[in-house]
Amino acid sequence: MSIKSRFQPLLEQRAKDHLYRRRPLATTAQDTAMQINGLQTINFSSNDYLGLANHPALKKILQETNDLSVGSGAAHLVTGHHLEHHLLEDELADWLGCDRALLFSTGYMANLAVQPALMQKGDWILSDKLNHASLLDGALLSAADLKRYAHNDMKALEKRLKQAQEANIQCLIVTDGVFSMDGDLAKLPEIQALTQKYGAWLLIDDAHGLGVLGQKGKGCFEHFGLTPDENTLIMGTLGKAFGTSGAFVAGSEVAIEALIQFARPYIYTTAMSPVNAKVTRSALKLVRDANVRRQQLKDNIAFFRQGATAIGLNLMPSESAIQPILLGDSEVAIAWSETLKQAGCWVSAIRPPTVPKDTARLRITLSASHTHAQIQQLLDALKAIQQKTHS
């Protein structure tokens, strides 16, 4: 059997089901106003929540990196661990109040690393059903048994924890902090209480919370007024609110040292560019001091939700920068997305298998850099589509 004979029918079926994916081509810098696929659009599909990806201060730092190599040349455990990496890890840990932080090239890689490294055969991983694909894949790579609980269902989670406690089974609870396709938050106060009550460990993917939530942008723990304990690991990405690229895991001294020794995606991967690490150190300073930007983002979220509610859109219960509009049918989601693009608003249609069957949606993401005029343009375009649909 050839590759073509196996996959050509699958590709054709995916296209028939309106699930085919294509890569948009950007020809300008990442920003709220961009040229994508030849269209001049307002970008409502980026995770650049604080508008730092094209920030002049970060671009200026790039001009001050002549003493650094573009590539690290090797894995961290060989010769790739540069002083800039080391300093960034220390600064991230200090910021979050954790013992240590460990850098990874991507958030996906970080999530592939933690669960197989920490969990052993006979352990249980208790994972929210709406967790990001990387968390699911990390669990499947582990020798532990994966037990998925209904989204944010604390009764179901506690039932599993009770069963594990009775059988003397070690559990790791795994959850997104902000769920990337729905925009809602994990019930972190209840989850932390359950981890401590039943002696479980906790891995929280705070990719969409760090930099945005909390008075100082420290993410979901700060948002809820909580402090991570020694059995908690926080995964954070640098390609969203930070505006650069890469990721990290923060936690206790022992947990981070365990990842260095046992996490294969860390051990066998070339370290991120020292240039990126240096720029990200400056991005961290901007994030820490971004109270005005965080307030602008909150204002933009409120402005959009008020306008969307006024025109009768089916919003999901999200207080984050992720504002999905549930449409259900994949073909309808694509049609709405294409019409919005022609109206100058780039909004991605999210379809299965990224989201459950019959829950296709528009995933609108807002930035501190969006103006109310830009958001109003989006609302006007959505209103026109809705009126045409119901006429």
Among 288, 320, 351, the domain-final residue is 288
Which is nearest to 210 in space by CA: 97, 125, 112?
A: 97
State the amino acid at position 326 in one-letter form.
Answer: L
5 part of a folded domain: no
10 part of a folded domain: no
Say whether both 35 and 110 belong to one domain. Answer: no
The whole-angstrom separation of Cα 170 and Cα 149 is 17
Say whether both 276 and 296 belong to one domain. Answer: no
Say whether both 177 and 320 belong to one domain. Answer: no
Residue bearing tokens 């590539």: 71
Q: What is residue 391's predicted lDDT score, i.e. its pLDDT?
A: 63
Say whether both 124 and 157 belong to one domain. Answer: yes
Say whether both 346 and 378 belong to one domain. Answer: yes
Q: What are the tokens at 309?
A: 């509610």
Say whether both 67 and 202 belong to one domain. Answer: yes
Q: Dihedral angle at the C-alpha atoms of 108, 111, 112, 113, nearest 10 degrees? A: 130
Is the distance from CB of 174 to CB of 131 less than 8 angstroms? yes
20 part of a folded domain: no
SS3 of residue 289 by DSSP:
coil
DSSP-derived pairing of the beta strands 360-365 and 33-36: unpaired
Q: What CATH number corresponds to the domain at position 109?
A: 3.40.640.10
| One-letter-per-residue 3-state SS of 76-131 | HHHHHCCHHHHHHHHHHHHHHCCCEEEEECCHHHHHHHHHHHHCCCCCEEEEECCC
Q: Per residue of the chain (391 residues), give pLDDT as tens.
A: 999 999 999 999 999 999 999 999 999 999 999 999 999 999 999 999 999 999 999 999 988 888 899 999 999 999 999 999 999 999 999 999 999 999 999 999 999 999 999 999 999 999 999 999 999 999 999 999 999 999 999 999 999 999 999 999 999 999 999 999 999 999 999 999 999 999 999 999 999 999 999 999 999 999 999 999 999 999 999 999 999 999 999 999 999 999 999 999 999 999 999 999 999 999 999 999 999 999 999 999 999 999 999 999 989 899 999 999 999 999 999 999 999 999 999 999 999 998 999 999 999 999 999 999 999 999 999 999 988 876 6
2 part of a folded domain: no
Say whether both 178 and 166 belong to one domain. Answer: yes
Say whether both 104 and 238 belong to one domain. Answer: yes
The number of angstroms, rounded, from the C-alpha of 235 to the middle of its chain's C-alpha atoms is 10
Q: What is residue 388's predicted lDDT score, i.e. its pLDDT?
A: 80
183 part of a folded domain: yes
Say whether both 250 and 229 belong to one domain. Answer: yes
Among 288, 308, 333, the domain-final residue is 288
Ramachandran angles phi, psi of 326, nearest 5°: -75, 125
Is the distance from CB of 375 to CB of 344 less than 8 angstroms? no
168 part of a folded domain: yes
Total Cβ atoms within 10 A of residue 38 = 8
Report in angstroms the alpha-carbon separations of 200 from 44, 97, 115, 197: 38, 21, 13, 8
The whole-angstrom separation of Cα 183 and Cα 185 is 7
Q: Give the chain's domain count.
A: 2
Q: What CATH number corresponds to the domain at position 375?
A: 3.90.1150.10
Say whether both 193 and 333 belong to one domain. Answer: no
DSSP-derived pairing of the beta strands 33-36 and 39-43: antiparallel
Say whether both 326 and 367 belong to one domain. Answer: yes
Number of H helices, E strands in the chain: 14, 13
Q: Which residues contact 377 (CB under 8 A, 6 or more apart)?
A: 42, 343, 344, 345
Among 288, 319, 343, the domain-final residue is 288
Name the pTM for this structure.
0.95
- CA gyration radius, the chain: 21
Which of the residues are catalytic?
A: 180, 208, 240
204 part of a folded domain: yes
The whole-angstrom separation of Cα 331 and Cα 32 is 26
Say whether both 158 and 62 belong to one domain. Answer: yes
Range of the domain at 340: 27-50+291-390
16 part of a folded domain: no
Q: In degrees, to the nearest 5, what angle opens at C-alpha 52 toward C-alphas 108 and 367?
A: 85
